Amino acid sequence: MAKRVGAEGSFAVAEAVRLADTDVVAAYPITPQTHIVERLSEMVADGDLNANFIYVESEHSAMSACLGSAAVGARTFTSTAGQGLELMHEVLYLASSMRLPIVMAVTDRALSGPLNVWGDHSDAMATRDCGWIQYFAENAQEAFDLTLCAFKIAEHHDVLFPVMVHMDGFHVSHVVEPYLLPDKEELGDFLPPIDYPYPLDPNKPVSMGAFAPPAVYSECRKAQDVAVNGTIAAVANVWNEFNKQLGRQYKPIETYKTEDAETILIAIGSFNQMASVAVDKMRAEGKKVGLVRIRLWRPFPLAAFRQAIKSAKNIVVFERSMSYGGTVGPVCAEVKSALYGIKDAPRVTSFIGGLGGRDMSPKHFEGLFKRAQEIFDKNLDIQYETIGVRE
Amino acid sequence: MAKKDFELTWKEIPVGAIVHEPGNASEYQTGDWRSQMPVLDRDKCVKCGICYRFCPEPCIVKDDEGYYVADLFYCKGCGICAYECPKDAITIVKEEH
């Protein structure tokens, strides 16, 4: 029977890694690390998880150790955030191009400088194009569920890509909240043992990570791009199976009160929960507003996204990172690209906020809707606004 | 390798670009990169093997008569052998393509 427990999101992730019978955890144990690996190292030390815990000297080494571990066919997990994800950056591309099924929880944090370890999506967006499957959990329950699902997705023979499970630093990782912790029996055969099809084996030697000259590099890249874009159905199927087994449904694009919505807010991450309260209040006032939560960020579920915003005349994007020197933030750029060429495409306005741990309440989100309306009504020529900043 | 790398279509790239025939780097003609080649003067050569030890490729092999000669399938024409030869037995000659 599932137990209802109160815990940090970090601990919920650690429980999922334990239930998955993970073989190897390679992680850098100091800031910007979270309690995820602290808890995992306790589990290993106490004998609650029969895994090799590799303490490494940097995040670059952590991901490098994960490459080796996954390449021999071991179920592999790591976790990092912020500056740590940046230090790992080079190796992230190797994991995806070598198609190694590594699972990583990222408790998204701001990047320096100025030095700030609080939550935003600067780190996540900097890894946007590294070829991993990336999705977002908005609370402890989702962090637990989606970490568990990540192993099944990454190791699925139709997928074989590393998976990043994003969750907001502090708002999810450090907040104590209740979640349902299932036992092994309840999981049934949802997560079978890993069966990586190309493990390193002295009796059947292969070369991984070999070089590719100009004559073949483009072919390798196209093969990888087509493969990762082709994983959307497999990701959704795993989430459907999870729902059958444990009764909680996840979708690549989540909608909230969007059926007849004329103005739709689009956001990523835990602040969506604040935004949904604002939507409730405005709906009660008769305003046709709704919320689209991008859960699967990479590969981007274009068809589901276009379906979800069908009724919208106005789109408001809220995001927690900047593209310095760019025309809009990374999420808005994706949204605008997804809308381009659609007949009678909705108007888009964009806000950036919640940076470096700055909070957003439902009232702030109500304010966003109002300001967006003003921008649309007056036809103001504004690419994006940075909100909540003292002038 | 059944097919040369420049013949492979993207659909034929193995998952993860894994090379399933280990050691097939020996089929890769690094000599392609060369614009100059080493020429050995056998009258000056004393068969000391210093060029053999310094060649970074390493593409220099001992022939039946005991001379050390570069295998031009692999030789990139870097000139290290000529630089290191104590008898100036190796000269680097520009190649016309």
- Identify whether B68 is part of a domain: yes
Cβ contact A207–B13 (<8 Å): no
Q: Looking at the predicted structure, is the pLDDT value of residue B23 above 90?
A: no
Total domains present in chain B: 1
- Identify whether B94 is part of a domain: yes
End-to-end CA distance of chain B: 27
Q: Tell me what pLDDT residue B28 has.
A: 86
Distance from CA of B6 to the nearest CA of A (A): 5
Distance from CA of A223 to the nearest CA of B (A): 5
- Identify whether B24 is part of a domain: no
Kindly report the CATH number assigned to the domain that includes residue B41: 3.30.70.20
Cβ contact B13–A219 (<8 Å): yes
Q: From its phi and psi, is residue B95 left (phi > 0), alpha (psi between -120 and 50) or beta?
A: beta
Q: Which of A27, A19, A152, A18 is nearest to A81 (CA)?
A: A27
* pLDDT-flagged residues of chain A (< 70): none
Per DSSP (E only), the strands in A51-92 are 52-55, 76-80
Hey, what domains does chain A have and what are their CATH numbers? 3-246 (3.40.50.970), 253-386 (3.40.50.920)
As a whole number of angstroms, the distance between CA A143 and CA A35 comes to 13
What number is the average pLDDT over the span B35-50?
Answer: 97
Whether B26 and chain A come into contact, CB under 8 Å, resolves to no
Give Cα A69 distance to the centre of its chain: 22
Cβ contact B22–A198 (<8 Å): no
Q: Tell me what pLDDT residue B3 has.
A: 77
Q: Looking at the predicted structure, is the pLDDT value of residue B2 above 80?
A: no
- Identify whether B15 is part of a domain: no
Around B25, how many Cα atoms within 13 Å sit in the side-chain half-sphere?
A: 12
- Identify whether B66 is part of a domain: yes
- Identify whether B55 is part of a domain: yes
- How is residue A136 written in tokens? 């977002």
CB of A279 closer than 8 Å to CB of A265:
yes
Q: Looking at the predicted structure, is the pLDDT value of residue B32 above 50?
A: yes
> Rounded mean pLDDT of chain B?
93
Over residues A200-209, the pLDDT tens digits come to 999 999 999 9
- Confidence class of residue B1 from pLDDT cuts 50, 70 and 90? very low
Whether B20 and chain A come into contact, CB under 8 Å, resolves to yes
Q: Look up residue A198 and give its amino acid.
A: Y
Residue B69, SS3? strand
Q: Tell me what pLDDT residue B97 has.
A: 64
Q: Tell me what pLDDT residue B24 has.
A: 84
- Identify whether B28 is part of a domain: no
Q: Residue A241: which residues within 8 A CB-CB, separation 6 or more?
A: A152, A190
What number is the average pLDDT over the span B52-60?
Answer: 96
Range of the domain at B58: 35-97
- Identify whether B93 is part of a domain: yes
Whether B11 and chain A come into contact, CB under 8 Å, resolves to yes
As a whole number of angstroms, the distance between CA A116 and CA A114 comes to 6
Q: Tell me what pLDDT residue A346 has.
A: 97
Instruction: Pick the residue of B3, B12, B19, B30 with the most A CBs within 10 A to test the interface with A by mutation.
Output: B19
Whether B19 and chain A come into contact, CB under 8 Å, resolves to yes
Sign of CA dihedral A260, A265, A269, A270: negative
Instruction: Pick the residue of B9, B15, B76 with the most A CBs within 10 A to test the interface with A by mutation.
Output: B15
Give Cα A324 distance to the centre of its chain: 22
